[in-house]
Amino acid sequence: MAYDKFTTLTSTAVPMPIENVDTDQIIPARFLKATKREGFGDNLFRDWRYNSDDTPKADFVLNNPIYKGKILVGGKNFGSGSSREHAAWAVYDYGFRCVVSSFFADIFKNNCLNIGVLPVQISPEFANEIFEAIYADANTELEINLEAQTITLLSSGTQESFVINNYKKGNMLNGFDDIDYLQNMKREIETFTESRPF
């Protein structure tokens, strides 16, 4: 088993309705110097979260104690930019298990799936409803059901289904990753290699 199993998650959520949040904001490049996967959560959104003297920026959502939970709700095109998996690690290490957005950048989404953070893509209208509900009451909860592929705003009962391919869904439900799968294809891969022209 490569990572935590994901079945259902009911949690309050942290709202971040900013569009085009890039991976340099999620984890700035100067924090990519580790050779082990440890402590990236401390620097999640570092430059939005802290002043240059390391004091917290009071107006940033992660520094507002009323917003907490295992779900991050981001704006459109979340995770654009670099392929650094460190961005997904930082999200995970901080304590998020699910990121919700009306649109994800490709590589970030893939990286999340590969480490057991569930990206849930919803309609822009539902995203707005969620933001409004959280701003009205920070204790508002979302329920994510991976088996049923649904996300529900519990205060209103509004529900949407989300897309995930059957293979990845199985991985997330069971905590398997791609290497577990590929290891069982060794012979097939070796035969394929022999046919490569270069």
Partner 1 sequence: MSKSLFDKVWDSHVVRSIEDGPDVLYIDRHLIHEVTSPVAFVGLEGRGLSVLYPERTFAVADHNTPTINQHLPVQDPLSANQLKTLEDNANKYGISHWGLGHQNNGIVHVVGPENGITLPGATIVCGDSHTSTHGAFGAIAFGIGTSEVEMVLTTQCIMQPKPKKMRISVNGVLNKAVTPKDVGLYIIAQLTTSGATGYFVEYAGDVFENMTMEGRMTVCNLSIEMGARGGMIAPDAKTFEYIKGRPKTPKGADWDTAMAYWNTLKTDDDAVFDKEFTFNADDIEPMITYGTNPGMGMGISNNIPSANAVEGGKATYDKSLAYMGYTENEQMIGKKIDYVFIGSCTNGRIEDFRAFASIVKGRKKANNVTAWLVPGSHIVEEKIKEEGLLAIFEDAGFVLREPGCSACLAMNDDKVPAGKYAVSTSNRNFEGRQGPGSRTLLASPLVAAAAAVTGLVTDPREFL
Nearer to partner 1, 36 or 136 (CB): 36
Is residue 187 a contact point for partner 1 (CB under 8 A)? no
Task: Return the number of the residue (37 or 156) whose C-beta is nearest partner 1.
Answer: 37
Q: Which residues, numbered 105-134, are part of the site for partner 1 (CB under 8 A)?
A: 105-107, 110-111, 114-115
**Considering CB under 8 A, how many residues would be counted as binding partner 1?**
57
- What does DSSP assign to residue 198? -
Task: Confirm if 108 and 92 have CB atoms less than 8 A apart.
Answer: no
Q: Find the part of the chain contacting partner 1 (CB under 8 A) among 75-83, 92-100, 134-142, 143-151.
A: 75-83
Cβ count within 10 A of residue 93: 19
Tell whether residue 41 is a contact of partner 1 (CB under 8 A): no
CA dihedral angle for residue 97, residue 98, residue 104, residue 108, rounded to 10 degrees: 10
| Residue 45 to residues 32, 61, 130, 140, 182, Cα–Cα distance (Å) | 13, 10, 22, 23, 34
Per CB under 8 A, does 55 bind partner 1? no
Report d(CA 34, CA 51) in Å as an integer: 22
Rounded to whole angstroms, the Cα distance separating 63 from 32 reads 23
Binding site for partner 1 (CB under 8 A): 17-20, 22, 24-25, 28-30, 32-37, 47, 52, 75-77, 80-86, 88, 103-107, 110-111, 114-115, 165-168, 177-179, 181-183, 185-186, 188-189, 192-193, 196-198
